[in-house]
Amino acid sequence: MSDCCSTTSQRFDLVILGSGSTAFAAALRAAELGKTAVMAEERIVGGTCANRGCLPSKNLIEAARIVHESAHPRYPGLTPAKMAVDFRALVRQKDEVVRGYRRKKYESLVGGRISIAEGHVEFADPHTVAVDGKRLTGEKILIATGSRPAVPGIEGLDAVPYLTSDLLAADESQELTDLPQSLVIVGGGYIGLELGQMFRRLGSEVTILERSQQLLAHGYEPEIGREIGRVFESEGIPVVTQAKIERVRQENGRVVVTVSRNGREQEFRAEKLLLAAGRRPNSDRIALERAGVRTNGSGAIIVDGHLRTNVPHIFAAGDVIGREGGSQMATPVGSHDGGIAAHNALSGEEPRRADHRVLPRAIFTDPQVGIVGLTEAEAIAAGHSCWCRTVAMALVPRAGAIRDTRGIVKMVADDATEEVLGVSMVGANAGEVIHEAAMGLRFRAKIGDFIDLLHVYPTMAEALKIAAISRFKDPAKLSCCAE
């Protein structure tokens, strides 16, 4: 425990717990306002996204896609080629990318009014934190400690080595440097899917265990999980649904996972076990009780619409607030909200609200998943009379042209007003296309707006226009670009 009783303290306008995207956005905003800010970090500057999440995972996922595409060309006339995979070399180049990004986008920004305090941070009192014996006092405080992989309570897990998404960490002991021969993944959410497909394409045998009836069961359209399930089946990735994990053990150097499914027990064996059971807010190791800050039942810090906690001078933003106020655990959300929190804490101007109505998301499987707004079930629950239509990606000319017709697009709209309330998509470049849908939702576009907007031909973004057209016509019976 840090020394909370030292009398010497450094004073800052803003003390920030954490140094990830949320923290840096707040620190930069504080500096713009002429204020001083200090960030406390016990791991590596830059937080999860830059060091062990978004950046390293997308780097390796793209490498795996190249390997897969070379072995499975979509075009007749292209001869399959098996590429050799040097996993350690891949990890080294991934680390170089991460270090370069960390230097340019994080470490180079420290100085002047912005400083870093290294070490474990916890509250000493409502205005002061202790960082490995040093005391930092802030007129205002921002909690931006992020989240970490959730570790479910599984019998035997304390005696079995396991991986989490921290296996991607650069310059930390959790980093995985050898490609597993086989892997059992617990969890069929976005982390399990991205890493599962990546490892399979690089050469590991992969099995995914999901307790729900299908992949991406919560907060997604059911069609999305079914479509990704078909893709995984085609790539030789078994997905075992309705699998309740009973216990784990080691046997002859391998991990054995016992699940109960449909009243029967089954065992799955692999060299490595990867837990991908979601993430939990980092709120439990910072002595919140000394500051009087409240959390909800999931450990997320409770905030109002201005990102203020129940303690007036303490704010919170990013993953540590979970889904409070409709937020999402996502880097761009935290970065956006970090600036708002600093503005509200320090500017003395009219406070800004954190608007979480339109939050586009993507899953970097192949094909990608893009989502924004309400699902059909959410729209109905909110009282809308729903017009909801799912269109196969085979109807999108670009998909046919590049010989990749995997996927669907689903549009959710209010049947009376025709305002588009949500879009879900599986398909090539869905993570890019979904931004058009997000902009539409931001300005409350209607079905007709997506139809009337001229789209470049042929592009995957036409999928949105085709889905909208299906409100009035059968898009299978139209010529290209016709409305």
pLDDT at 412: 98
The dotted CATH code for 157-277 is: 3.50.50.60
Q: What is the largest CA-CA distance in the chain?
A: 77
pLDDT in tens, 275-329: 999 999 999 999 999 999 999 999 999 999 999 999 999 999 999 999 999 999 9
Write down the pLDDT at residue 358. Answer: 97
Contact assessment for residue 304 and residue 217, using Cβ atoms and an 8 Å cutoff: no
Res 480: pLDDT: 80
Which of 87, 60, 52, 53 lies closest to 170 in space, CA to CA?
52
- Per-residue pLDDT at 8: 80
Which pLDDT score, from 0 to 100, does residue 5 have? 47
Fold for 9-46+106-148+280-346, please state it: FAD/NAD(P)-binding domain (3.50.50)
Map tokens 């995979």 to a residue.
85
List the structure tokens of 420: 């588009």
**At CA 324, angle to CA 143 and CA 125, rounded to 5?**
30
By C-alpha distance, which of 315, 283, 277 is closest to 296?
A: 283
Model-level pTM?
Answer: 0.94
User: Among the CATH numbers 3.30.390.30, 3.40.50.1820, 3.40.50.2300, 3.40.109.10, which is that of 361-474?
Assistant: 3.30.390.30
CA distance 368 to 363: 6
The one-character DSSP state at 23 is: H
* 272: enclosing H helix or E strand: strand 272-275
Identical fold between 9-46+106-148+280-346 and 157-277: yes
The per-residue pLDDT for 7 is 61
CA distances from 454 to 324, 482, 483 (A): 37, 11, 10
Domain ranges of the chain: 9-46+106-148+280-346, 157-277, 361-474
Count the Cβ atoms, other than its own, within 10 Å of residue 112.
Answer: 8
Low-confidence ranges of the chain (pLDDT < 50): 1-5
